[in-house]
Amino acid sequence: MLISDNVLLKSYNTFGLSATARYFSTFSNQQELAALLEDPRVQERRMILGGGSNVLFTRDFDGAMLKNEIKGIEIIGEDNDYVYVKAGAGENWNGFVQYCIQHNLAGLENLSLIPGNVGASPMQNIGAYGVEIKDTFQELEAFHLHDKTVVKFDNAACDFGYRESVFKRQYKDQFAILNVTYRLSKQPHFNTSYGAIEAELEHMGVKDLSIQAISQAVINIRTSKLPNPAEIGNAGSFFKNPAVDLVHYEALKGTYPNLVAYPLADGNFKLAAGWLIEQCGWKGYRDGDAGVHAKQSLVLVNYGNASGNAIYELSQKVIESVKEKFNVVLEREVNII
Ligand code: FAD
Ligand code: EPU
């Protein structure tokens, strides 16, 4: 297995940051990964990389960066209602979603165009437009980097939450996800609960609802407000949408009648962090090449040569101002390296 020295990561992260990895290699199957893990250069410190669309490198990575390139999409089972599709962790996420749509398999259409690879999809239970992967996730196989064994995780074992799973918590950096199996529906259950989808479908003149139409509506909405990493470096939402309790919510609503908030099943309220950040005056802010996206304040951007540290420091200032104005502490969603 070829292990390269001092590799520039600029083209391997959607923020376009110029950090380097002390060592870098790719693997295309479990055996190659196992062989890499035998190498002393990989044993001390290593990180599994997918599409690099949810990481912020604040410094050079002083270890081995192992890029997962396990490919393959396969229908592995079927029953009356569902078809089970298994995809290699290194498959592009949107490519996988489009494969399902082309085969008339429903459930992932609302998650169209999310950047990154299949292997990272369970890491933070990716979600968009009223759907999260936990709604269709069946199981995954992961390689334990220390024990060198393959472990299966079903839906319950992943303990999915909002932008959360066991892989971000107790099993952080312990596993390489090898493949993920999704359970897709033969009969679609359309989810257009996210208001913007209905409006876009109407704008598109769609008469007969289909998973293809929903996918296209989601793609249209996303491209209208999220920056394309090929043009402006970013990692999507930099922060999570925070939850507050009823007392806090009512106090905020009293002071700010336009507050954007959604009731949660547990009685708390989720606040739109983008709205909070915009109210603090950050929308469109730019300092050098680090900035806050002009159409979506939840997205921090690199206009070219910003350092990871500059973006991190900007995120700290955003956190402090939101805390001061609303007494709400924003949590970063992006993985800080
Ligand atoms: P990476 O950035 O490569 O890795 C992310 C983390 O997962 C790292 O900690 C890495 O070590 C780990 N990891 C990656 N692959 C594996 C593996 N095979 N095994 C073990 N660990 C692994 N996210 C959403 O949820 N919803 C959105 O709507 C959304 N929109 C976005 C829009 C834009 C423009 C961008 C740039 C990002 C957006 N994101 C969104 C964030 C991002 O697309 C997702 O988090 C995606 O799943 C990251 O995939 P990746 O392969 O790029 O992961
Ligand atoms: N808003 C503002 N100002 C802004 C941004 C947003 O007022 O600058 C308001 C909007 O007007 C809207 C509300 O906030 O009323 C919600 O905005 P939007 O629909 O854009 O969604 P979001 O809550 O900002 C979340 C996810 C996105 C996901 C979209 C669509 C998180 C952290 N982010 O963003 O995920 O694509 O919903 O479902 O939950 C990501 O994780 O990287 C990501 C992009």
User: What CATH number did the domain enclosing 22 receive?
Assistant: 3.30.43.10
Residue 30: pLDDT band by 50, 70, 90 thresholds?
A: very high
Q: Is the pLDDT of residue 308 over 90?
A: yes
pTM above 0.95, yes or no: yes
Mean pLDDT of the 298-305 span? 98
Contact 323, 298 (CB under 8 A): no
The residue range of the domain holding 161 is 73-185
Whether 140 and 238 share a structural domain: no
Measure 97 CA to ligand 1 centroid, in angstroms.
15
- List the residue whose alpha carbon is closest to atom 33 of ligand 2: 237
Instruction: Based on the fold, state whether residues 238 and 295 are members of the same structural domain.
Output: yes
pLDDT confidence tier of residue 322, bands split at 50, 70 and 90? very high
Catalytic residues: 163, 237, 333
Within a domain: 223? no
Q: Which pair of structure tokens corresponds to residue 84?
A: 């089970």
Does ligand 1 lie within 6 Å of residue 177's CB atom?
yes
Distance between CA atoms of residues 258 and 256, nearest Å? 5
Residue 176's pLDDT is: 98
Inside any domain, residue 33? yes
Beta carbons within 8 Å of 140's beta carbon, 6+ residues apart: 122, 152, 153, 158, 177, 178, 179, 180, 181
CATH of the domain at 300: 3.90.78.10
Mutational test site, ligand 1, from 123, 168, 174, 334, max ligand atoms within 8 Å of CB:
123
Residue 304 lies in a domain: yes
Segment 246-262 shows an average pLDDT of 97
Q: Quick check: CB of 302 below 6 Å from ligand 1?
A: no
198 inside domain:
no
Q: Please give the pLDDT value at position 1.
A: 74
Q: pLDDT of 74-117, one tens digit each?
A: 999 999 999 999 999 999 999 999 999 999 999 999 999 999 99
Q: Are residues 258 and 331 in the same domain?
A: yes
Q: Which of 114, 118, 146, 237 to mutate to test the pocket of ligand 1 (most atoms within 8 A of CB)?
A: 114
The residue from 68, 86, 120 where one domain ends is 68
How many CB atoms sit inside 10 A of residue 252's CB?
20
Domain boundary among 185, 217, 250: 185
Number of other residues whose CB lies within 10 A of the CB of residue 192: 18
Given this model, what pLDDT does residue 336 score?
97
Q: What is the mean pLDDT of residues 20-28?
A: 98
Q: Exposure pattern of 282-312 as b/e (b: 16+ CB <10 Å)? A: bbebeeebbbbbeebbbbbbbeeebbbebbb
Please tell me whether residues 78 and 50 are part of one structural domain: no
Q: Which atom of ligand 2 is nearest to the CA of 130?
A: 38
Q: Is 65 in the pocket of ligand 1 (CB under 6 A)?
A: no
* CATH code, domain carrying 112: 3.30.465.10
Residue 228 belongs to a domain: no
- Dump pLDDT digits (tens) for 162-199: 999 999 999 999 999 999 999 999 999 999 988 799 99
Residue 197: how many CA atoms within 13 Å on its side-chain side?
23
Closest ligand relative to 164 C-alpha: 1
Calculate what percentage of the chain has a pLDDT beyond 90: 98
* 64 and 77 co-located in one domain: no
If asked whether residues 171 and 249 sit together in one domain, one would say no
202 within domain boundaries: no
Q: How many domains does the chain have?
A: 3
59 and 80 share one domain = no
102 and 34, same domain (yes or no): no
- Per residue in 217-237, pLDDT tens? 999 999 999 999 999 999 999
Residues 17 and 51 in one domain: yes
Please tell me the predicted confidence (pLDDT) of residue 195: 77
* Whether residue 96 sits in one domain with residue 53: no
Q: Name residue, tokens 């949590």.
A: 331
Whole-number average pLDDT of the chain: 97
Cβ atoms within 10 Å of 211's Cβ, excluding its own: 24
Closest ligand 1 atom number to CA of residue 142: 19
Q: Which pLDDT does position 169 carry in this prediction?
A: 95
- Tell how many helices (H) and how many strands (E) occur in the chain: 9, 20
Percent of the chain with pLDDT over 70: 100
Classify residue 127: in a domain, yes or no: yes
Give the residue, by CA position, lying nearest to ligand 1 atom 28. 128
Domain boundary among 44, 68, 92: 68
Question: Do 330 and 295 lie in a common domain?
Answer: yes
Residue 171 confidence (pLDDT): 98
298 lines ligand 2 (CB under 6 A): yes
Q: Does some domain include residue 201?
A: no
Q: Is there a single domain that holds both residue 181 and residue 77?
A: yes
CA of 55 to the centre of ligand 1 (A): 7
What's residue 289's pLDDT? 98
Q: At what angle do helices 195-204 and 211-225 cross, to 10 degrees?
A: 110
